[in-house]
Amino acid sequence: MIFRSSRLAAVEASLAGGSPPLPGRSQLQDALARLVRNKGAMVSLAMLCLLIVLAIAGPWFIPHNYEDPDWSAFRSPPSLADGHWFGTDQNGRDLLARTLFGTRVSLLVALIATLVSVVIGVTYGAFAGYVGGRADQAMMRFVDVMYALPSILFVILLMVIFGRNVFLLFAAIGALEWLTMARIVRGQTLSIKQREFIEAARAAGLGTGAIVFRHIVPNLLGPVVIYATLTIPEVVVVESFLSYLGFGIQEPLTSLGTLIAEGTNVLEVLPWLLWFPAAFLILLLLSLLFIGDGLRDAFDPRERG
């Protein structure tokens, strides 16, 4: 999304086949208005907000702690009578409390890993696209080499070498998800750096770093926000898969992936241990995907049908 006059934006949107912004409104306001009109995105946003509120505040209102067993309710099925609405696991721990806490951990992993990937990818891609030439080619060949590596195996290798630290998990997943972001930002930068305001910044004597962070990166917010929103569910899936394999979140902490792994092992005798964490994960992923699609349609009118 380039910051430019509303008249020029209207002409470009018309040529692209999209609807021009309404008079008196900026492109950002027009994009937000289109997002609000997207019912699927709004319903998904409400669902995501509900999940976040439940994950953060829910455990405070539950009489059971996620790691404390109830000695009188081992393997108890879901019931409102005994206060275990989602039942208990094989150790007598309340599944509702563990599911809400696991949702909180999964969201935390996703947000931090996505933030790491955005910072690395935007910085790397913007500098590669702006500098150009041999430096650009060398930097993008490094990205190609990283793409060729099996990402999951690379994360597992890091966990084996440096230990199963939750903060290392954040960094390892984020350090792999930046590759696509770097390619997207680099492609956008190649187009933006030909604009007149970049030439004016060079003529004013601004250095490479100042031009990249003051003039190029702010004009990449649209694609960056869209891709970051779509990266979060991918990170959630990666974390869940690693936890399912036993390389992710470890006791006493838990995550949705860890709970799903535990539920799969006892599916035939304690099926509710899989049902509820899987339902929360599905709702979380669907909400994030619909929000990402809504942002893409809002910021890029050409994507609309």
Domain residue ranges of the chain, discontinuous segments joined by +: 100-303
**Residue 8: its pLDDT value, please?**
37
Q: What is the pLDDT of residue 105?
A: 85
**Which of 5, 4, 12 is closest to 300 using CA atoms?**
12
Which SS3 state, helix, strand or coil, does residue 88 take?
strand
According to the model, what pLDDT value does residue 279 have? 92
Task: Name the residue among 289, 187, 200, 274 with its Cα closest to residue 236.
Answer: 289
- pLDDT number for residue 179: 85
Instruction: Record the pTM.
Output: 0.73
pLDDT score for 264: 83
The pLDDT of residue 49:
92
**Spatial distance between the Cα atoms of 73 and 52, rounded to a whole number of angstroms:** 28
pLDDT at 115: 86
The listed CATH number (3.30.1490.190, 3.90.180.10, 1.10.3720.10, 2.60.40.420) that belongs to domain 100-303: 1.10.3720.10
pLDDT in the model for residue 18: 45
Pull the structure tokens for residue 105. Answer: 């951990």
> Among residues 83, 79, 90, 189, which one has the least CA distance to residue 132?
189
Positions in the chain short of pLDDT 50 = 1-22, 303-305
pLDDT of residue 79: 80
State the pLDDT at residue 166: 67
The CA-CA-CA angle for residues 101, 58, 102, to 5°, reads 15
Cα–Cα distance measured from residue 178 to residue 172, given in angstroms and rounded to the nearest whole number? 11
Q: Which of 233, 222, 231 is nearest to 191 (CA)?
A: 222
The predicted structure's pLDDT at residue 17:
42
